Amino acid sequence: METHPVPEVEEAKKGRTKPKKEIDSLDKIEAEGVEELQEKLKGMKISKKLKKKLLKEEAERQKILAYDPAFHCLKCKEKEGIIINRGDRSCESCFKQGCIHRFKTNLRNSLKIWKDNSNLICVSGGPNSMAMLHLMHVSLFGESQRKMFFKVHIVHIDDGVVYGWDEEKRNTNIQLFKDACEKYKFEYTILSLESVFDVEKLNPNTKEFTPPIEDSKEYVNHHYQSTEENAEKLRELLKYPSELCSSREDLIFNLKKWLLLDFALKFGFKKLLLGCTAVKVTSKVMSEIAKGRGLSLPNDVCFVDDRYLEDIKFMNPMRDYLLNEIQQYNKFNEVSVIERTSISLNNSKKAKKLPGFGSMNLLCEEFINELQVSNVQTVHTVLRTSNKLKLGIVEDESKNYCVLCYGLVDHATNILEVGSHIKSVSLEGELDLMESENDTWNTEFEQHLCFGCKRIMENAVDKERLIDSLPTFIKENAGL
């Protein structure tokens, strides 16, 4: 048998050469800049995948070296940072992406809005709600790979009677709202605030409400116009609340909430999204405590307020957006808004001389804005603190809700009883005390109100006429 000599095999093995190991780190190549690195990589035998990786790493390294926090965007580190938010700079592109991402995160994680949910978006036409409308459009129809899939309907309350707008002004604002909905491909409904006098039944304590309208689509792209009689009733009602301590503002806000709740119950909407932003929430923390509604504060300032009939929830997806963020977002996206002034600015000359124009809400908002200028973490510190607020342990059967604001009715304590005798405090510091025998707090209607709403009645220009002018369903809820 013929055999091959071993030395030849060993010589063949020695003739083989092992392939060179690919360069896997920029540390092994001395190059400054992407262009110089490309030139050096041309003479090296490396895979396209590795070459792409090394060039990307070098680009990132050069970006970090060139980054100037006083000039460049914090996220992309390339473009000029034209927006300063909480001390950090952002370019226009990164700022818009950040706003959209935060909005989607709030919808998914905080509000638990998922596919096929039917949601009612409440749009007043102001900067906050119009920004929310644009963000909702981008979330559903934008170019992002992670689109959202749920049903949306837009509702707008025409409150022109409150501001004394003429017919032309009201029609102009309504047309602006319609144009925005058509532009963003949303169906809409327009309600008149005076329609609250047409609400038949809505009781938070007995759980009674107007039966829902089954399988009706009459509300789609429809404007529910009220009668002149109801408009006159609303004008008459707004004569009697005091101009001080936000009494008139709170009453209007509560009427809007009842109207939205009635609409949601009629047409089967379970989730209502509001445009309440960070500054509004933080100022509300202070103003509601000052007005005596601290018991309901955890519901008023949280992401999801779930105390309402038939598991209806009021939600605040814009809760962590700052005022300057809303302004910049609307500017970059050319979002049109309905121009309106604060209700407090329509107060008398006497009220306008007071701090915050006599409005507790406006005074607290101005205070928060001033603190935010000196310390950019003020608003978010208050927000984090408000997240820790919890409702006391109260059995559902024993809960009693205010027939005016849907807040929890608290039991009187010694402190409240003492406070009920204080009628007013003048700017000079003088106290006017009510005599106990003349104390009229314990009327039949006021037995069904929370402490804050009792103060609205107590400070009214004419309490009896104010109660008589309220919508019928509110008086019926109090047994009148």
Give me the pLDDT at residue 335, please. 92
Exposed/middle/buried for residue 68 (C-beta within 10 Å: 0-12, 13-18, 19+): exposed
Residues of the chain with CATH 3.40.50.620: 111-397
Q: What is the token pair recorded at 345?
A: 């600015």
According to DSSP, residue 106 is labeled I
Per-residue pLDDT tens digits for 223-256: 998 889 999 999 999 999 988 778 899 999 999 9
For domain 111-397, the CATH architecture is 3-Layer(aba) Sandwich (3.40)
Give me the pLDDT at residue 142, please. 79
Residues facing 222 on adjacent strands: 189
Q: In degrees to the nearest 10, what's the CA dihedral of 264, 269, 273, 274? A: 0
Q: What is the token pair recorded at 226?
A: 């009220």
Give me the pLDDT at residue 438, please. 39
Number of Cα atoms under 13 Å in the Cβ half of residue 197: 19
Q: What is the token pair recorded at 140?
A: 């559903």
Query: Helix (H, G, I), strand (E, B), or coil: what is residue 137?
Result: helix
Query: Helix (H, G, I), strand (E, B), or coil: what is residue 223?
Result: strand
Residue with tokens 């509560």: 254
Give me the pLDDT at residue 109, please. 84
Backbone angles phi, psi at 377, to 5 degrees: -95, 5
Q: Which residues contact 309 (CB under 8 A, 6 or more apart)?
A: 202, 204, 207, 209, 261, 265
Using an 8 Å Cβ cutoff, are 459 and 247 in contact? yes
Q: What is the token pair recorded at 61?
A: 């390294």
C-beta neighbour count of 15 within 10 angstroms: 7
Give me the pLDDT at residue 155, please. 96
Residue 106 to residue 111: CA distance in whole angstroms: 6
Q: Taking the mean position of all CA atoms in its chain, how far away is CA 135? A: 12
Cα of first residue to Cα of last residue in the chain, in angstroms, is 121
Q: Which of 480, 458, 459 is nearest to 468 (CA)?
A: 480
Give me the pLDDT at residue 393, please. 54
Give me the pLDDT at residue 79, please. 79
Give me the pLDDT at residue 425, please. 47
Q: Which residues contact 287 (CB under 8 A, 6 or more apart)?
A: 246, 360, 361, 363, 364
Give me the pLDDT at residue 392, please. 61
Positions of the chain with pLDDT under 50: 1, 4, 6, 9, 12, 18-21, 414-440
Q: What is the token pair recorded at 224?
A: 């529910």
Exposed/middle/buried for residue 158 (C-beta within 10 Å: 0-12, 13-18, 19+): buried
Give me the pLDDT at residue 43, please. 65
CA distances from 134 to 88, 177, 204, 306, 479 (A): 24, 12, 33, 25, 44
Q: Which of 399, 421, 403 is nearest to 411 (CA)?
A: 399
Q: What is the token pair recorded at 424?
A: 């007013």
Question: Which residue type is seen at 208?
Answer: E
Sequential DSSP letters for 227-276: -HHHHHHHHHHTTSS-SSTTHHHHHHHHHHHHHHHHHHHHHT--EEE---
Per-residue pLDDT tens digits for 354-410: 777 778 888 899 999 999 888 888 998 998 888 888 776 555 556 789 999 998 887
